[in-house]
Amino acid sequence: MKKYLFIALAFLSFTLFAKNAPLISQHDFMAMQMSAKPAVVLDVRSAKEYADGHIKGAINISHDELSERLNELSQYKDKTVVVYCRSGRRAGIAESLMEKNGFNKVKHLTGDMNGWLKAELPVIK
């Protein structure tokens, strides 16, 4: 019974925090970063998580501070902004907030930081 309750709650959480932003694969993201129009990278994890390792060039604004600090990103409203967190929930919250505030090209990094680390891609500490 507990197993089914867990599955139901997980599905409900996913539905509530489902990402509206389109996904961008790690491969496509890396190619974009080497192009003439690299994306802005937004890490919405905590400052400690960011310090423990982040994607090169990422701006760190925790998802729970984003509404107060959104003006720091206003110059990127018409640029591609790739958002990630540890596993996806916080990024989904941030993406919704950004889209409601006029950010037109928000994308979600497939796998977030967990996927990035699993793929053994480079991080900055």
- What amino acid positions are annotated as catalytic residues? 85
Checking 92-99 for CB contacts under 8 A at 24+ apart, the result is 92/17, 92/18, 92/19, 92/20, 92/21, 93/17, 93/44, 93/63, 94/42, 94/44, 94/63, 94/66, 95/19, 95/20, 95/21, 96/20, 97/66, 97/67, 97/70, 98/66, 98/70, 98/73, 99/20, 99/21
**Burial (CB count <10 Å: 0-12, 13-18, 19+), residue 10:** exposed
